[in-house]
Structure 1
């Protein structure tokens, strides 16, 4: 039986210092066949030149160059051009273990009810690393927060069916919304029990952890407008600013006749 082609889609914006390490982690993968699509998202450093150099070095790499349009546009562009049946988004500064793709594909190929496979992970920088404490998956938990990082594996057809990553979600956490729309109407999720993903902490990623209340409110408004049916089912009403209190608060309001 022919093994499915896996397309690793790598958006890259000013990650010249890390891109080669990311690519080399993919090329060390125990799984074949693979292709790696590097989408240069209007970088102002020499990311494009490094990507083109890597494409000459590794036959599995293709490079797409686009004006700066944001990570969702870059991911969607790569997914559209991908020839693989299975997609792995991997940002241009992160790393994977050699066995991650193989173990994930094994699950996806044998269990058609599974839509998404991810793994344990660590966060790292020049000072060291620490395990990423990820919550176990359930739809009720997904309604309140995301526990699946963007570098999970899924079938391309499922991504296309939900319209890919939402390009108008410019206030952050676009991967959370992507998983909601892919999984809210069915499909299982498997987390592999080994560390297969290494998330690099940079100045850019650290800034993401301090998003403003304004962005958070805009994000919650966006999610409620787009997935109100999902939150009604899982939280008995809309997602609230204090996300963990959404369901009890909604139940109280419903009891008082205010919802």
Structure 2
């Protein structure tokens, strides 16, 4: 009853937002939580702010590590987490005070991932309209933000977040990893997550720096999960025939689906499936 939830808050050069973020953790109506603040070698005053919260409430913990990137920081926090369920929360974002309460009611129903409706704030505001989850859509793009619930057991099974993904999309890779062998996803109808839109962000920097970082990131993800993409998407031609919208804005996916490597994997998969 009342399982513990471990909230993991990595922080690198986000100290200016950290108080606002952690206040939304403290305000939770569900009480059985711990919050692990991971200082990823940040040069700002993250440590000072984090230690203030540790003194304020014993459910906050502070962990310092050498800078290794977002995936590394999340993994370090989850490694020492004592909760059954994990909720990553970036230091510049916020959660609704009932997010933990509403999710906990669904924990015993067999879901692999539980997330919610979301709103944007900052340089943009309004509801964050994301595509409806399906395995096929997940093979094309990510529609589940990082602040979603999953179990520590599933994190262990897939080896955690991939630390090679230093430019972004580590969430997409992680969701594929824990869902590709099966699993159910629940999206709560309530707005539980608030996503800060900034003028500069990891994803915007990747887009601004051309295709090089995107290519590196996509190649890691597609090579790791080639069987998943083959199973869900089939060939480029069959995907195009079913729904052109799925690939209309993903030129790199087009090139991957038409590549010799993908076509060979597709043939091998179909052979063994028969």
Q: Which residue of 1 aligns with 2:221?
A: 223
Residue 164 to residue 57, structure 1, CA distance change in 2 (3 Å) = same
Q: Aligned with 2:132: secondary structure?
A: coil
Indicate if the aligned counterparts of 1:117 and 1:153 stay in contact, CA closer than 8 A.
yes
Residue 103 to residue 218, structure 1, CA distance change in 2 (3 Å) = same
TM-score of the pair, normalised by structure 1: 0.89
Q: Which residue of 2 aligns with 1:18?
A: 17
Matched, 1:180 2:179: no
Alignment match of 2:138 (pick from 115, 138, 142):
142
**Aligned residue pairs, count:** 251
Bigger shift: residues 55-64 or 215-224: 215-224
Indicate if the aligned counterparts of 2:124 and 2:197 stay in contact, CA closer than 8 A.
no
Bigger shift: residues 11-20 or 241-250: 241-250
Matched, 1:32 2:31: yes
Q: Shift in Å at residue 210 of structure 1? A: 3.7
Matches within 5 A, 1:99-110: 99-109=98-108
Indicate if the aligned counterparts of 2:167 and 2:206 stay in contact, CA closer than 8 A.
no
CA RMSD of aligned residues (A): 2.5
Q: Shift in Å at residue 56 of structure 1? A: 0.4
- CA displacement, residues 34-63 of structure 1 (integer Å, 9 cap, x when unaligned): 000000011111011110111101111000
Gaps of 5+ in 2: 240-246, 269-274
Q: Which residue of 1 aligns with 2:192?
A: 196
Q: Shift in Å at residue 209 of structure 1? A: 5.2
Q: Aligned with 1:133: secondary structure?
A: coil
Gaps of 5+ in 1: none
Q: Shift in Å at residue 142 of structure 1? A: 0.2
Q: Which residue of 1 aligns with 2:251?
A: 242
Indicate if the aligned counterparts of 1:231 and 1:237 stay in contact, CA closer than 8 A.
no
Q: Aligned with 2:185: secondary structure?
A: strand
